[in-house]
Amino acid sequence: GDPLLNFEIVKYITEYAELCNLFKKKDLEFVICTNLTLITEKHLEFFKKHNVQISTSIDGPRNLHVKNRPLLDTSINSYDVLIDKIKLCRKYLGENSVAALMTTSKFSLNRFKEIIDEYVTSGVKTIFLRSLNPYGFAKRNESSVGYKMDMFVENYIEALNYIIDINIKGTYFIEYFASLLLTRMLTPFSTGFVDMQSPAGVAISGVIYNYNGNVYVSDEARMLAAMGNDKFLMGNVHENSYQELFNSEFLHSLIKSSCLECLPECASCVYQSFCGADPVRNYSEQGDIIGNRPSSELCKRNKKIMHYVLSLIKKKDDNLDKVFWSWITKNPRINDKVYRELP
């Protein structure tokens, strides 16, 4: 459920974490994921005081967003509420305080340009064009909301070209997945993107603590548990020590089994340096953590998109290069004519 349904717990966690960090001195950040329906000025005052960032969902223009995210109270339009609440958040927290993600249902296909236009109009600077993950509602309702991966890739490539054109014409706007790939392809730096690491980022780059103290190797593992499968449960904070959670034989085995250099087909794949392993998704789709690449929808998506991005790099087009480096560096001025002409 939405965390704002239990705001007292949100406050407690935030304040307790800040108290602990007076001694731990960690880089501590807070992000709250919410559909914004319940957010009020009281919440925003607290978020401003504690530097809490907001992540929400924009699935596209009005009719598409409502189709994907209807409210139980049909007299309330989820899109209208969302836009009003985004304005309220920006009033309190600043123009760049709200990040957004989209869910690509079958209703989104062939409408990516409209979705991108909605993001640009809403003042959001990035979009992550993602295919559906095989968990939870998406898995249970695949026949009504799902689609073939080839259809997604076709739509993605068309959308990426549209976004590049928007940038060349002067509007800075990032497609997040392409920016991740470009960073992997053109720089020596890691992206920190858990789903594309080798060995897999599970329990290395992050873990998920559930409300009952259960600890999972990733959010996808938690979603799998919600479907009745605790395959990737590390343990429980009330029952297990830190060493038992993070130095277990289970975790060692999982990470050893997720190095691309050791996986069938991945070991000899031309895209190996840019890709990563996802044992949780392999298990969800194919029944084992190694997976079978020829029948993997994720592998199919990654290969086709990587091939296309590399073909754009190969063009050695000055405008394309400036757009790509502005995404990699998160510096819009690289693509700014005045900036380029400075001595």
User: Which tens digits make up the pLDDT trace of 24-72?
Assistant: 999 999 999 999 999 999 999 999 999 999 999 999 999 999 999 999 9
For the chain, what is the mean pLDDT? 94
pLDDT of residue 136: 87
Pull the structure tokens for residue 292.
Answer: 């079978």
* pLDDT exceeds cutoff 60 at 340: no
pLDDT of residue 337: 54
pLDDT of residue 282: 95
Burial letters for 170-205: b for 16+ Cβ neighbours within 10 Å, e otherwise?
Answer: eebbbbbbbbbbbbbbeeeeebebbbbbbbbbbbee
Share of the chain above pLDDT 90, in %: 90
pLDDT of residue 112: 98
Q: What is the pLDDT of residues 166-211, one digit of tens each?
A: 999 999 999 999 999 999 999 999 898 998 999 999 999 999 999 9
Share of the chain above pLDDT 70, in %: 97
Overall average pLDDT of the 257-269 stretch? 95
Domains of the chain with bracketed CATH = 3-190+311-340 (3.20.20.70), 208-304 (no CATH)
How does DSSP classify residue 287?
S
